[in-house]
Amino acid sequence: MADHRRLRVLVCGASGLIGAVLCKRLEAQGHEVIRGVRTPTSARDVAMDFGTDTTIEQWLPRVQGMHVVINAVGIIVETGTNRFEAVHHLAPAALFRACAKAGVGRVIQISALGADRGDTPYFRSKRGADDVLRALPVQWQVLYPSLVYAQDGDSAAMFRTLASLPVIPVPELGDARFQPVHIDDLVDTVVTVIVPAIPPGQCIEVVGASRMSYRAMLDTYRQGMQLPAPMWATIPAPCMTVAAYVARCVPGSKLTPDTWRMLRRGCHGDAAPLTRLLGHRPRAIGTFIAPGEADCLRHRAVGAWRMPMLRIVMALVWLATALVTLFAYPLADSLALLGAVGLHGTPAIVTLYAAVFVDAAMAVGCLRYPSRRLWALQAALVAGYSLIIAVALPQFLWHPFGPVLKNLPILAILFILYAEQESWNTSPSR
């Protein structure tokens, strides 16, 4: 192999979370990094698609002249042409065979903890590629990372969002334990095992120092964001099973029957081999969120659920208003209220049903077309309704149920939606 101080490295999946951080680290160490991405944007990018590139002939030109090839491509759910069998098994297998044929010095496969024994399609596809690599006449290393924590990672953001809820739902998981690893430790592992002096042919569990329950993991993230103690709500396993089967019909949903099975199984391993390899213990989960990051991450986490919640609440308010007017409230009473503002006969009926249509349209807009313009329009409507009622029907101002005064919190919600259209849960661009 070439001098390890200056290696030519192909990183497949360079635009992903792990691949992007890995490229930066390798470049900082002086290596020549070739970025394998789906859509090239620079001269050092090579186009590749693990959903379709499943032959040795497609991979040979890409791996020629490489000292090291690293596969950091992975998906957690299937979407469109991204299927487990192609992305995790067939494409990597073709890549690895091309590496052996081209004489690549070392191949690193970033697999998944549990792939060696898991029985879901995700795990089986990962294991298929791992088995192919281990059987080839090439210096290989297979890494089995646990849940990877990175400040801008999707899974970490999801767990922080769950941890920020005032009432946190916790699935019934029995003895399942989790051992998340910080992305810095995973990247340290990769840059360590590409060194020629490190013996090849190792299967390494890349796990953090902390092994804990799912609830304890969320609680640690919550403490890291400096949030007060929450309420906890346990979700029975049968309810989660039903929810997983329903959620799999939602495009992009991370909850599926397979991911639910993986969650119940837990995700933990032995940190001792990794400690020996790195020369230090991997980071404990309590150190993942630095004190200086707490405020920013807390605002992002809360923003991730606050905005959707307010949009849904507003949609329900508008929809309920339309349905009550159309089906529940007596028509004669509705016309009498309109008569108090000077509308009678046909104009009153047209106004009534036009208001129902507008309310229904506002409900749809909340869910499908959120925008600052929509929130401003809704605020104007609510303020206008309130002003008309205050002038024409002043008795509602001092009604014990406060039908007009309750528009004030609605206006406050619309003000928040208008002000926070660019929400805190938006990750900074890389």
Distance of alpha carbon 427 from alpha carbon 115, whole angstroms: 30
Helix-then-strand count for the chain, H and E: 16, 11
Q: What band does 102 get if pLDDT is binned at 50, 70 and 90?
A: very high
Distance of alpha carbon 409 from alpha carbon 379, whole angstroms: 11
Q: Examine the domain organization and report whether 91 and 205 are in the same domain.
A: yes
Q: Examine the domain organization and report whether 271 and 366 are in the same domain.
A: no
The answer to the question of residue 298 being in a domain is: no
The answer to the question of residue 246 being in a domain is: no
Q: Examine the domain organization and report whether 381 and 409 are in the same domain.
A: yes
The arithmetic mean of pLDDT across residues 365-391, rounded, is 95
Q: What band does 428 get if pLDDT is binned at 50, 70 and 90?
A: very low
In 52-208, beta strands by DSSP E: 68-71, 106-110, 139-145, 148-149, 167-171, 181-182, 202-206
The answer to the question of residue 225 being in a domain is: no
Give the domain extent around 104: 8-148+178-212+265-289
Distance of alpha carbon 427 from alpha carbon 425, whole angstroms: 6
Residue that is written with structure tokens 């969002």 in the block: 161
Q: Examine the domain organization and report whether 354 and 408 are in the same domain.
A: yes
Q: Examine the domain organization and report whether 321 and 413 are in the same domain.
A: yes
Q: Examine the domain organization and report whether 352 and 275 are in the same domain.
A: no
Q: CATH number for the domain including 185?
A: 3.40.50.720
Distance of alpha carbon 117 from alpha carbon 209, whole angstroms: 22
Q: Examine the domain organization and report whether 136 and 277 are in the same domain.
A: yes
Residue that is written with structure tokens 């680290």 in the block: 25
The answer to the question of residue 23 being in a domain is: yes
The arithmetic mean of pLDDT across residues 300-327, rounded, is 95
The arithmetic mean of pLDDT across residues 14-42, rounded, is 95
**pLDDT exceeds 60 at position 429:** no
Q: Across all residues in the chain, what is the average pLDDT? A: 93
Q: Examine the domain organization and report whether 73 and 194 are in the same domain.
A: yes
For a pLDDT cut of 70, what percent of the chain falls above it? 97
Confidence at residue 162, expressed as pLDDT on a 0 to 100 scale: 97
Of the residues 289, 324, 344, the one at which a domain ends: 289
Give the model confidence (pLDDT) of 296-310 as tens digits: 999 999 999 999 999
Give the model confidence (pLDDT) of 151-167 as tens digits: 999 999 999 999 999 99
Of the residues 289, 321, 337, the one at which a domain ends: 289
Q: Examine the domain organization and report whether 195 and 327 are in the same domain.
A: no
Distance of alpha carbon 410 from alpha carbon 390, whole angstroms: 16
Cα–Cα nearest to 144, from 177, 167, 118: 118
Confidence at residue 422, expressed as pLDDT on a 0 to 100 scale: 54
The answer to the question of residue 67 being in a domain is: yes
Distance of alpha carbon 271 from alpha carbon 120, whole angstroms: 24
The answer to the question of residue 254 being in a domain is: no
**pLDDT exceeds 70 at position 170:** yes
Q: Examine the domain organization and report whether 279 and 138 are in the same domain.
A: yes
Q: Examine the domain organization and report whether 192 and 316 are in the same domain.
A: no
Confidence at residue 423, expressed as pLDDT on a 0 to 100 scale: 47
The answer to the question of residue 110 being in a domain is: yes
The answer to the question of residue 383 being in a domain is: yes
Distance of alpha carbon 101 from alpha carbon 55, whole angstroms: 13
What total number of domains does the chain contain? 2
Q: Examine the domain organization and report whether 69 and 126 are in the same domain.
A: yes
The span from the first CA to the last CA of the chain, in angstroms, equals 33
Supply 240's token pair: 């989660």
Give the model confidence (pLDDT) of 32-88 as tens digits: 999 999 999 999 999 999 999 999 999 999 999 999 999 999 999 888 888 999 999
Q: What band does 421 get if pLDDT is binned at 50, 70 and 90?
A: low
